[in-house]
Each structure stands twice: as structure tokens, then as C-alpha cells.
Amino acid sequence: MKIYFAGPLFNQAERKFNAELTEKLEALGFKVFLPQRDGVDGSKPPFDAMLREDRRKHLFNLDRDKILESDIFLFILDGRVPDEGACVELGMAYSQKYQNKKEKLLIGLQTDNRAVHMNTKLNPMIQVALDKVFSTEEELIMFLKNNPRGKGAGGD
């Protein structure tokens, strides 16, 4: 089963969290596409020789293709607001699932207790698109360990 790992990756703490969670998921037998590790790195060949706009297009296309190939879309929702790039990625994954009736599990992890919206932690456009949202890493790992194909996730 392939997991696309979506979420913020712009500081040391975020990248460390992402890498550690990815290790745990891979230890369960999942194949994880982690953009910070497996995606476009502008400081390394061949991307360092590309024009910025070409690098951006390559990044977009690679991430889009990996989202569409994935069986599970995992969205790390932490932060004052969810990462805007990951929101677009969720839209791609949801659209594929909805339009193609593809069996794709869309899940989130939100350990952050800050909320932007009154009486809810997430914007409904994010909350409703996800099959399930976990509040701890342990809950997420247990669910995937016991339901590797996402059975019992809910959603449509």
C-alpha cells in the first residue's frame, strides 16, 4: 500500500516529525512518498540546474502523480491553519476518489489544539473531504496497523 504524506515541511521540527512518522509507517510495511525526502530538491541535480519555474512545474507534476498513485492520502493538519499546498493536494486526492469512485483512504492527523474556526478545529472543506482524522500519532498507527486497507474509516 502506498501512502502520500502531505503536510508542512518548512522547518526543522516539521521535517523531523515527518521523517520519524514515515519511518514508523514504513516499518508497518507501507511504501511512503515523503516529498521532503523523495521529491524535488532544488539544491541537488538535476533540479539545481533547472530554472526556478521549470523546477516548480516538475515539483507539481511529481507530487500530483504520486498523489494519484497512492492508496492512502495522509494529511498532517498541525499548525494554526493547515498547509495551503497540502490543501490543494487533498483536493486532488478527493477529486480522484469522488470522480473515479477509487478506493482511496483520505486521513488526517491533527495533534495541534489551536483552532481557527469557531466550535471546530478544521474548515469544513477539509474536514468533510477526509474519511477520518486522528488526534494522536498512536491512534493513527493503531488504525493503519489494524486496518491496512482503511476498512472502517467511514466517509463515502
Is 50 exceeded by the pLDDT of residue 113?
yes
Q: Rounded to a whole number, what is the distance in angstroms from the first to the last CA of the chain? A: 20
Do the domain assignments include residue 76? yes
What's residue 17's pLDDT? 97
Do the domain assignments include residue 127? yes
What's residue 120's pLDDT? 65
Is 80 exceeded by the pLDDT of residue 8?
yes
Over residues 13-25, mean pLDDT: 97
Do the domain assignments include residue 58? no
Q: In CATH, what number is assigned to the domain containing residue 98?
A: 3.40.50.450
Over residues 78-90, mean pLDDT: 93
Do the domain assignments include residue 11? yes
Over residues 74-94, mean pLDDT: 95
Distance CA 14, CA 6 (A): 11
Over residues 107-123, mean pLDDT: 78
Do the domain assignments include residue 47? no
What's residue 92's pLDDT? 97
107 beta partners: 74, 132
Is 80 exceeded by the pLDDT of residue 116?
no
**Contact indicator for 82, 6 with CB cutoff of 8 Å:** no
Which domain, by its residues, includes 73? 2-31+67-146
Do the domain assignments include residue 155? no
Percent of the chain with pLDDT over 70: 90
Do the domain assignments include residue 151? no
Count structural domains, the chain.
1
Residue 108: which of 11, 36, 21 has the closest Cα?
Answer: 21
Over residues 124-152, mean pLDDT: 88
**Contact indicator for 18, 76 with CB cutoff of 8 Å:** yes
Do the domain assignments include residue 153? no
Q: 26: which residues sit within 8 A by CB, 6+ positions away?
A: 32
